[in-house]
Amino acid sequence: MKPNQEPEFLKTKVEEIFLLQKQHSLKLRKSSAINRIALLNRILYWINKNQEDIRKAVHADYQKPYPEIDITEIFPVNIEINHAIKHLEHWMRPKKVGTPLIFLGTKAYIQYEPKGVSLIIAPWNYAFNLAVGPLVSAIAAGCTAILKPSEMTPHTSALLRRMVGEIFDTQTVAVIEGGVEISQMLLSLPFDHVFFTGSPSVGKIVMKAAAEHLTSVTLELGGKSPVLILEDADLKDTAEKIAATKFLNCGQTCIAPDYILIPVRLKDTFIDEMKKSLEKMYVSNKKGIESSKDYSRIVNENHFNRIQHIIADANLKGAKIEFGGNANREQNYIEPTILSNMKWDMKVMQEEIFGPILPVVTYENLGDAIQIVNQQPKPLAFYVFSKNDQKVNAIFNETSSGAAVANDCAVHFLHRELPFGGVNNSGLGKAHGHFGFLAFSNEKSVLKQRIGSAAVNPLFPPFTLAKKKLIKGILKWL
């Protein structure tokens, strides 16, 4: 549904779609794995048939390179769909549970039922991937869904509307476009589940709105994901992996490395390796990074201004630009920028960067570095580079984060056997694979008692002397 309509008309149409999906969600409770897999196959077929249209739409929003679109937008969604198709029948199967001694004669199991009508509010940074990925989980769980794409990526948003219109009827899945006012309108409705991807500040607003209806939520948020480099790290390998994942999508990635913690003596060598990595990845024919076809742009002027302000604030407070710093306002281009001489009162160290800036912070001893990580809000991801597996395990045990990765960055997003999500400030609930299916499912406890058991139940009144002795005996035994 397009946003350029009168508010009252929009409100009426949104409520009509919601009620339509509410009624249809009751029928979907009976849907089989075969029914749901058929819908998933239709999504997969549409994506494979329209790959070029997906590339064009995403590229039009912020000049994202086609190979990067394949890797970060299309590939992860196809993995998600194929994984769900392969495992869905097993996921849906009731799960038997053990029978405690006091429940002898009963049968008990967990039944997975769809929560009902779901709302998916997608972000702009991976506008296709982070809209369709949660939709796959909702369909796998048997839910209906209203998808609200980001207004900041209008070409991808229009593509999503077209895709959903060609695959689904409105009573199953609908796309409703618009800005903040549409999100507020949707959040005022009593959805059965809300899946939101975005910033912690907006996540709080979503959670508050959901609380009005006691609606369950999955909040995929962000935060400052640190990289801790130990003395024994392979700096060349480390720099290449950090450069590739930090500056992917021009740094606009929720699990991108946000800042580096490195021993003082390794700082200069690491920065040199980072420079070499960036030149290798983005500089060809002696032209600058700005001419590279493999480097994205900032999504819009507002975010361009925000990042420029962060760099200016760091400069004013004594930061040193080790690499980069150049920008082109007309193209929303900001060069990969490495900063040193960091102070914790700088904006770049206080808020999630979400752009191509990499602060390098030095430490004297490992205990100090771990303390820094633990003093910050819990991150969505924590990366450690070291050849010492025991040290890595010890660090992971001493810290808390949504994910922990050794000797790489961001790759855990593609691992469908792992839950994806944050903790506290960086998120609530998990996504991907079986964990995404569970997010949109109610794990219903089912217990079946044998008929006639009440007549012989020793725990029912009247409490005779014999029954009192039996109860005391049970308490001692427990």
Residues 311 and 325 in one domain: yes
Summarised one tens digit per residue, pLDDT across range 163-213 is 999 999 999 999 999 999 999 999 999 999 999 999 999 999 999 999 999
Catalytic residue of the set 80, 254, 322, 335: 254
Residues 167 and 210 in one domain: yes
The whole-number pLDDT of residue 455 equals 63
The whole-number pLDDT of residue 200 equals 94
The CATH number that applies at residue 332 is 3.40.309.10
Q: Are 55 and 66 in contact (CB under 8 A)?
A: yes
Q: Is residue 362 part of a domain?
A: yes
Residues 207 and 237 in one domain: no
- CB half-sphere exposure, 296, CA atoms < 13 A: 30
Range of the domain at 250: 226-421
Residues 14 and 84 in one domain: yes
The whole-number pLDDT of residue 286 equals 74
Residues 81 and 207 in one domain: yes
The CATH number that applies at residue 182 is 3.40.605.10
Q: Is residue 450 part of a domain?
A: no
Query: pTM for the whole thing?
Result: 0.95
231 is catalytic: no
Summarised one tens digit per residue, pLDDT across range 378-430 is 999 999 999 999 999 999 999 999 999 999 999 999 999 999 999 999 999 99
Residues 183 and 281 in one domain: no
Q: Is residue 61 part of a domain?
A: yes
What confidence tier does 314 reach under pLDDT thresholds 50, 70, 90? Answer: very high
N- to C-terminal Cα separation, the chain: 59
Q: Is residue 209 part of a domain?
A: yes
Residues 175 and 230 in one domain: no
Summarised one tens digit per residue, pLDDT across range 328-358 is 999 999 999 999 999 999 999 999 999 999 9
250 is catalytic: no
Q: Is residue 477 part of a domain?
A: no
Residues 208 and 317 in one domain: no
Catalytic residue of the set 68, 220, 335, 352: 220
2: pLDDT strictly greater than 80: no
Residues 254 and 210 in one domain: no
Count structural domains, the chain: 2
Residues 272 and 364 in one domain: yes
Residues 184 and 60 in one domain: yes
Q: Is residue 48 part of a domain?
A: yes
| Length reported for the chain | 478
DSSP states along 359-427: EEEEESSHHHHHHHHHHSPPPS-EEEE-S-HHHHHHHHHH---S-EEESSSSGGGG-TTS-B---GGGE
Q: Is residue 447 part of a domain?
A: no
Average pLDDT over residues 261-282: 97
Residues 137 and 195 in one domain: yes
255: pLDDT strictly greater than 80: yes
